[in-house]
Chains A and B, each alone.
Chain A
Amino acid sequence: EPEVTQTPSHQVTQMGQEVILRCVPISNHLYFYWYRQILGQKVEFLVSFYNNEISEKSEIFDDQFSVERPDGSNFTLKIRSTKLEDSAMYFCASSELGNQPQHFGDGTRLSIL
């Protein structure tokens, strides 16, 4: 069964550094998402992306965050100047259409030191 893949599985970064999290959505899916899950808490929406632009973003997704689809297969989340509170699991998800269920990758665990 096709799946969403994310790399790296674990990223350790110094506070203030930039980090890029990478995702390869399911190939025929058109909608892409990033979610965040702080340890022990619920999954929180960050941003949705369709047709090469952001469809919606949450209040968490401030100016330090950006997303990009640099080619036909990758979808990236960049955090420009990381803070301690950015430490979390970051999940990429994709769906075939906007009203179809989202399929999640296994996440990247981001640890900010």
Chain B
Amino acid sequence: GQQLNQSPQSMFIQEGEDVSMNCTSSSIFNTWLWYKQDPGEGPVLLIALYKAGELTSNGRLTAQFGITRKDSFLNISASIPSDVGIYFCAGRDNTNAGKSTFGDGTTLTVKP
């Protein structure tokens, strides 16, 4: 089946620093999604990307859909303590009735 490689697995940063994480896939996706999960809660959608090359921002978050359609990155600028959590990428292709394939997640720790 489809697999996503998400990196890094974890990050420990100082408040105010920028963060970058990415996902790569062996197969093409038509949609890339980035979610954040806080402990004991479900994933919350941050950004959805629908077109190769698309660059989308949501506040301090910026994500891009890679030109090859096999990768995506998420940047967080000027991190704050509430950015702590697990960030998941997810890819979808149109052949599978909306099924999302998730990466392994990046655990972000922000030190004040």
CB closest chain-B residue, reference A43: B102
1/0 per residue, CB under 8 A from A, across B72-111: the answer is 0000000000000000101010101111111111000000
Q: How many residues of A contact B (CB 8 A)?
A: 27
- The answer for the CA separation of A43 and B90 in the assembled complex, in Å, is 9
Residues of B within 8 A of A98 (CB): 94, 97-98
How many CB-defined contacts (below 8 Å) exist between A and B? 69
| Contact flag A95-B41 (CB < 8 Å), given A42-B88, A101-B48 | no
CB closest chain-A residue, reference B46: A101
Q: Is B44 interfacial (CB 8 A cutoff)?
A: yes
- Do residues B97 and A50 form an inter-chain contact, with CB atoms below 8 A? yes
B: residues with CB less than 8 A from A are 1, 30-31, 33, 35, 40-45, 48, 88, 90, 92, 94, 96-105
